[in-house]
Amino acid sequence: MFPRNTKTVGLAVERHIHGRGGVTGGAGLSCYDYVIDDDWTGPAGFVFTTSTGHDVRVYSTIAGAFGHADGLAAISRTAFLICGGAYNEALTANPGHTNSWDIHGMGQSTIWAAIANSQTLWTIGGGDDVVRVRIRDIRFDLGTFTGCTVLGYGVGSTTDVEACDFVTGGSTTSTGIALRSLARLGVHDCKFSGSGNGLKDSVGAGGNVYIDSSQFTCAIGIDVPTIVAGSAIRIGGESKFSCTTNDILVSGDGVSLSIANCDFQKGIATSGATIHNFQAVN
């Protein structure tokens, strides 16, 4: 795909990425530390210098890029561009203490998909609330596989997800985002579809979930068995729930739930639960 001559490969990569619509503006690839492209046939981790003098590493797999960044000493911020293509991977990677990862796809053309049952596409390793992960413009697809999860968490993860599609596939046992152990989750302008759950699992001590401007057309939008006192779920920004089984299902005590300016089809169902500090604004 790219020239083997390393003197010209940098410019070739830049032209290729621009041609696929992945970079706009004068900064171009200088915004990123890693480019992930399933078309890449050169050496894994090849470092090229952009026309603005910025060094970028190129990988053909998400695991390769994340694995390299995972092994680096603590730095303030690392940015990844995942080009359009099909990435069938399940991995664990941890940004590490004090690190921040920004991960950008190319919208519907960047597809991160399951290839087997019981997979978690990305288990974000444990850290603390200094660790931050930001994910945007990626389509996640669990296909026909069962028991799969797109994003899972170690203790204390803090994540913002924006403009992503979570296709939970044909299984009722699959989930877009597992809430367990996270410190903070922000979901902005995302879509959850398929036969599975949008967001599911218990929310740990002090955990907070913020959802706005998102659409849920999956079987169950949000399924929360338990939530520890001091944690909260806040939903707003004209989010829309058109789920086939339950929009929101709460089956454990201690939930602090705030809802503003949202549309529901099935409503909120509780099973032996006590909802504390419930607020609803239309």
Element (H, E) at 282: none
Q: Tell me the β-bridge partners of 212.
A: 188, 236
Q: State the residue for tokens 């590493």.
A: 57
The pLDDT value given to residue 4: 40
Average pLDDT over residues 43-58: 85
Is the CB of residue 162 less than 8 Å from the CB of residue 135? yes
When mean pLDDT is compared over 120-124, 155-159, 268-272, the highest value belongs to: 120-124
Please say if the pLDDT value at position 235 is more than 70.
yes
Question: What SS3 state is found at 204?
Answer: coil
pLDDT score of 227? 62
Average pLDDT, the chain: 81
Does the pLDDT of residue 111 top 60, yes or no? yes
Q: Are 98 and 131 in contact, with CB atoms under 8 Å apart? A: yes
Confidence at residue 260, expressed as pLDDT on a 0 to 100 scale: 85
What six digits make up the tokens of 210? 């913020």
Residues 155-166, mean pLDDT to the nearest whole number: 88
Q: Please, what's the largest Cα pairwise distance for the chain?
A: 66
Per mean pLDDT, which range of 121-125, 210-214, 256-260 is the poorest?
256-260
Is residue 3 pLDDT above 50, yes or no? no
The token pair at 149 is: 């999860």
